[in-house]
Structure 1
Amino acid sequence: MKKIILLVLLVVFAFSGCEKDDICDANTATTPRLVLSFYDINNSTVLKNVTRLKVVGEGMTEGVIFNASASGESKYLTSGNTISIPLKTDEDTTTYSFTFNSGNTNPDLIFVDNVTINYTRNTIYVSRACGYKTIFTLNPTNAIVHTAEPVSSETWMQYISVEKTNIENENETHLKIFF
């Protein structure tokens, strides 16, 4: 009997050191991604799906994964009207190339635009289990630098509108892209 009581007390003491914040809840807000929504240039209130969009960060060899369950090149492609992409937490700029119609057999129908996002960072402590998160504030004077590739060609993105300068969550559109 004494052994059972001793065992129960030992188990109770072993788990008494655990605190609620030893496990990061999946619903805890972490570093947000930049949310971009695509709109029809001819009707600015209508969302428009991109076709086979591939997004590759500067210095990356592979693109942002939009479809983790797909294999090969398909996991880097999306044809939706809203995407979320990460910003660098160790620099104040992030550059991406956006390839519209990626993988098309006709190279004249593939368009590549480069977008550089300029921002400041603020690191915030979340909890012991979750660590820190970074929130971003887009630069008020030159938040977006947009060019085509090659530089002599036209851009497929006609206009980029900054909707939210503070990137604190992924529940809202930060940039609207019209094409």
Structure 2
Amino acid sequence: MKKILAIGAILLIIISFAACEKDDICVDGDTPLLVIGFYDINDTTTTKIVTQLRVAGIDQQFTVNTVADRSNLDLVEMPLRINSPSTSFVLISNSTSNTSNEETGNSDVITFNYETNEVFVSRACGFIANYDNLNGMLTTDADNWIKGVEIVQTTINDQATAHVKIFH
């Protein structure tokens, strides 16, 4: 009888451990950000810092939280809208505020158009969005600080390198 109870207990332990599932932890489940590098218009292979850069999304009341506000940068990472085929940003060079708290920097608007492609990563991560057929359009005005836009990668599925070069 003791042997049967011991064998039963061992089988019960084996079955209970076999029924356990692994903890699903999402490690690689983030939608990639759009990576933009800023380059010198006179030497298109050399990066160039934008002073006091501020980035804000169009139709949003706040600056983009993936970019340090009013900082000196030569590379930024920005989120694209998942539920829309385009995202527009205001990029402000030499951003400051006057005494009335109005923006006094040089503002340029750039719009990115793309196709959203949902990819299933895992049960823990669910779906992420990748972007295909990226293109960008600069809105011209009387005083553009952005002199040109070049799409380097039309597919956004990682953040390893810059997808877009902006020349100034």
TM-score by length of 2: 0.82
Deviation at 1:13, TM superposition (A): 3.5
Q: Following the alignment from structure 1 to structure 2, what is the Cα–Cα distance between the partners of residues 81 and 129?
A: 35
Map 1:114-129 → 2, pairs under 5 A: 114-129=109-124
Match of 1:70 in 2: none
Map 1:95-110 → 2, pairs under 5 A: 95-103=88-96, 110=105
Q: Is the 8 A contact 1:97 1:113 kept in 2?
A: yes
Q: Percent identity?
A: 29
TM-score by length of 1: 0.77
Q: Following the alignment from structure 1 to structure 2, what is the Cα–Cα distance between the partners of residues 87 and 61?
A: 16
Q: Is the 8 A contact 2:38 2:75 kept in 1?
A: yes
Match of 1:147 in 2: 139
Moved over 2 A (4+): 12-18, 75-78
Q: Is the 8 A contact 1:56 1:64 kept in 2?
A: yes
Larger radius of gyration: 2
Match of 2:73, SS state, is coil
Deviation at 1:109, TM superposition (A): 6.8
Q: Is the 8 A contact 1:38 1:178 kept in 2?
A: yes
Match of 2:106 in 1: 111
Root-mean-square deviation (CA, aligned residues, Å) is: 2.8
Given the alignment of the two structures, is residue 54 of structure 1 paired with residue 51 of structure 2, yes or no?
Answer: no
- Over 3 Å counting, the alpha-carbon distance change for 1:86 and 1:16 in structure 2 is same
Match of 1:17 in 2: 20
Deviation at 1:16, TM superposition (A): 4.7
Map 1:29-40 → 2, pairs under 5 A: 29-40=29-40
Higher helix share: 1
Q: Which consecutive residues of structure 2, in runs of 5 or more, have no partner in the other structure?
A: none
